[in-house]
Structure 1
Amino acid sequence: MEYLRRSLLKTAALALSAGLAPLSQAQSANATGPIRLALIEGLSGPFANAGEAVYRNILWAVERVNARGGVKLPGGARLLQLDRYDSKGQNEEALSALRSAIDDGCRVVLQGNSSATAAVLLDAIQKNNDRDPSRRVLFLNYSAVDPALTNERCSYWHFRFDAHADMRMAALMEVIREDRAVKSVYLIGQDYSFGQAVLKEARRQLAEQRPDVHIVGDELHPLGRVKDFAPYAVKIKASGAQAVITGNWGNDLTLLIKAAREVGYDGRFFTYYGNALGAPAAIGDAGVGRVVAVADWLPNVPGAQSEAFYQSFRQRFPKPADDYVHMRMQLMIEALAQALEKAGSTEAGAVASKLEGSTVSLSGQSGTMRASDHQFQQGLTVGVMDKQGSPGVRFDVEGSGYGFKVIRQIPASKAEMATSCRMVRP
């Protein structure tokens, strides 16, 4: 209850600052207590920085819901409570965390940093929900983008709020298709389901849209275990590739880009996650005009609403190194709150029925959860790295002095892809 007491105090303060009336004791301290959300993520180990970035984003989203009074249910308003479960970046630890979360009363699981982990959690949640209907769990996925998770492995209990790998590749290909200076590329990725999916789709889309481009390198490396990427960087430079395509994230991306800079590689990087988590600072001036990233949203997206959204996040987390903000995670928690209220219940099946097909908006951004496969449909943004203060780059990343200028905005209608999902509903 100590968490609830602290959360209520923070909620009241946030509500007052926002001009909202604080919750009464009768509204907030109802018999059923807070709605517990389990964040199962690598909060220690090689990708702890990525896990902590997720935590800050979701915490902010939870605080925003609580500041306006929490989730309105028939029995009274209930706050959201975010519980941390450290998977240490290991699948077995994630499964153990899932068991603990369910035993602790969590009925919503949040995870995303690893498609391999998402797959094992999805299987375990499906089995749990089939075996024990009284303790059914929802799985909200914010970053695990292996296309299979909403195609052949789709589940009624799983909802993905990030664009999957093929959608992201198509967005990058919008830029590559027009960049006629690129005649050869090097493909490199992490050796697990997501990294493999990225390279497979890169080969397919290049053959379809840029058959003139030669693939001069194509390799996978161990996930989270390479400490020195110099040998890879040397091979990339020696190949003569004018560009690199990679889905690497976390330290695997930062170390790769840093090694490329140190060996003097001057080609372009087309990335899924090159816009933060240390990558811009690692590459420095060598990345200006060369590092391209795709995201659901970027801080320099034009518009007053977008700017206010980013500024409010920076007010909440003023430390420059903590400014990696994800719009999709905010939309995810807003969609969950909306579905809870429409269901009038916290029961997973009832909430799932309201979450699929739902539309949610925030700060000028919006998306719809496609009912057929539970893949969120939203616009995508492609940006290129430049110095802060350059045209289109008001905001930098993590205090690095470098930010991303928006060069392409792709509407949801164009980013959408067909699905092979055959949804089985309870």
Structure 2
Amino acid sequence: MTVGMASSASVTASSTGQGASATSSASSIPIGAPAAPIRLALIEGLSGPLGNGGEAVFRNLVWATERVNARGGVRLPGGARRLELVRFDSKGSVEESLSMLRAATDQGIQVVLQGNSSAVAGALIAALDKHNAREPARRALFLNYAAVDPALTGAQCSFWHFRFDAHTDMRLAALVEVIAQDRALKTIYLIGQDYSFGQHLREQARAMLARRRPDLRIVGDELHPLGRVKDFLPYATKIRASGAQAVLTGNWGNDLTLLIKAAKDIGLEARFHTFYGNALGVPGVLGEAGVDRVLAVAEWHPNVGTADAERFYAAFRQRFPKPEHDYLHARMQLMVEMLVAAMERAGTTAPRAVATALEGLKLDGRPLGIAHEGEMRAADHQLQQPLYVSVMRRAGEAGVPHDNEGSGYGFRTLRYLDATRAAQPSSCRMRRPD
């Protein structure tokens, strides 16, 4: 793969795509000579302090597109077409992301992928709304795999934007359900990143905890700059001084890894309730200190315990055998497959037709080897999907056959919420194009 701004990477591999409901089995498609691949623009921070998260996303999307291409590509009336992933390094900046969006649309790319920052996602939605209104011949869709501010499918909801991750309120509600049943827990500390996602999480956590655990004392509540803190020792020291028994954080990337490391270094024994504590170095940093103390919430994890999940995870490990590349998210695979299914359902790659086909689309990923399923809610373009709350344990114990990143520690399911229980109300009032 070629690395660098707007450098393209053609990819190949195996799996199967389907239409509105994934019920058919894999089939072989004759490969002709397509006029051009279908290009997908990944606009993400691929360098800088949070670049590790961007590269981890890239690996997931490479694998997803490889699997589509290995079966012949996207089946369209004019013949099957391959997917091509094109990298645009935003360096984690809103301004650079907008510049990359212009570069992508100038090249005629019709699908944009982004997720690591709700602030960036919000700016992209606004810019793409204007672009698509001004230039209907060069419209593009925005598929979001990780930006979880509820406003993106609420007050700012857009016909051109689809979110495939569970948003903040969905993830938070799952964590609060676990917190609410821990009657021994009396004190908690809130800490997060100072941007739209972290600010919303802070407010919603207070509200949800007040409803579910009015007796629980919040002994600390603060935000820190996104991606700029190099030493979290002062924050960990304040958490310890507060007497908090638990910490609730939405931190991701190095902001989470460094926070967890600082907590370990000072012997902080609080339990961490996280959105992303099961990836990107956290288990390896914590080691034994994280056992029973780090919780995470996600749509899937390697130890969910089904035969489908075992096959799915084994296939990914075969493609990316390095332990440090162990960052697999089922939703990113489902996102690409749902895009393919919508294009095949619409019979075109035209953004408006594909968006209409995505609305209400249900996809069972199990026939595709994904071990995940979801339904794209038409009202707000928020994917409805199951969620798991899991806790860090030693690999090899009951329920933990797989570790994370070669650390010797993995995650075991504490709570499973089906899509109905994980759902949250929609406040979207979507304006659809004429």
**Equivalence for 1:420:** 427
Given residue 359 of structure 1, which amino acid in structure 2 is its aligned partner? K
User: How many residues are aligned here?
Assistant: 415
Runs (4+) of structure 1 moved beyond 2 Å? 5-8, 19-24
Candidates 391, 399, 404, aligned match of 1:392: 399
Q: Is the 8 A contact 2:9 2:84 kept in 1?
A: no
1:362 Cα deviation (Å)? 1.3
**Equivalence for 1:367:** 374
**Equivalence for 2:67:** 64
**Equivalence for 1:30:** 34
**Equivalence for 1:103:** 106
1:7 Cα deviation (Å)? 4.3
Q: Distance in 2 between matches of 1:270 and 1:127?
A: 38
Q: Distance in 2 between matches of 1:96 and 1:202?
A: 34
**Equivalence for 1:215:** 218
Between structures 1 and 2, the one with greater helix share: 1
**Equivalence for 2:415:** 408
Candidates 305, 318, 337, aligned match of 1:302: 305
Q: Distance in 1 between matches of 2:211 and 2:251?
A: 23
Over aligned residues, Cα RMSD in angstroms? 1.8
Structural mapping, 1:10-409, within 5 Å: 10=12, 23-24=30-31, 27=32, 29-31=33-35, 33-363=36-366, 364-409=371-416
Given residue 365 of structure 1, which amino acid in structure 2 is its aligned partner? H
1:134 Cα deviation (Å)? 0.2
Q: Secondary structure at the match of 1:72?
A: coil
1:6 Cα deviation (Å)? 8.5
Q: Distance in 2 between matches of 1:231 and 1:21?
A: 58
Q: Is the 8 A contact 2:39 2:109 kept in 1?
A: yes
Q: Is the 8 A contact 2:9 2:85 kept in 1?
A: no
Q: Distance in 2 between matches of 1:387 and 1:231?
A: 29
1:20 Cα deviation (Å)? 6.8
Q: Distance in 2 between matches of 1:305 and 1:336?
A: 22
Deviations 1:121-143 (A, max 9, x none): 11110000000000011000000
Q: Secondary structure at the match of 1:341?
A: helix
Q: Is the 8 A contact 2:10 2:85 kept in 1?
A: no
Q: Secondary structure at the match of 2:49?
A: coil
Given residue 122 of structure 2, which amino acid in structure 1 is its aligned partner? A
TM-score, scaled to structure 2: 0.93
Q: Is the 8 A contact 2:42 2:112 kept in 1?
A: yes
Deviations 1:60-100 (A, max 9, x none): 11111111111011111000111000000111110111111
Q: Secondary structure at the match of 2:80?
A: strand
* Alpha-carbon spacing, 1:377–1:20, altered in 2? closer, same or farther (3 Å): closer
Q: Is the 8 A contact 2:172 2:205 kept in 1?
A: yes
Given residue 34 of structure 2, which amino acid in structure 1 is its aligned partner? N
Q: Distance in 2 between matches of 1:386 and 1:23?
A: 46
1:390 Cα deviation (Å)? 1.2
Q: Distance in 2 between matches of 1:365 and 1:86?
A: 29
1:195 Cα deviation (Å)? 0.6
Q: Which has the higher contact order (CA 8 A, sep 6+)?
A: 2
Q: Any stretches of 5+ residues in structure 1 without a counterpart?
A: none
1:22 Cα deviation (Å)? 7.0
1:198 Cα deviation (Å)? 1.1
1:23 Cα deviation (Å)? 4.0
Q: Distance in 1 between matches of 2:378 and 2:247?
A: 35
1:197 Cα deviation (Å)? 1.1
TM-score, scaled to structure 1: 0.95
Given residue 152 of structure 2, which amino acid in structure 1 is its aligned partner? L
Deviations 1:181-213 (A, max 9, x none): 210000000000001111111101100000110
- Identical counterparts, % of pairs: 63
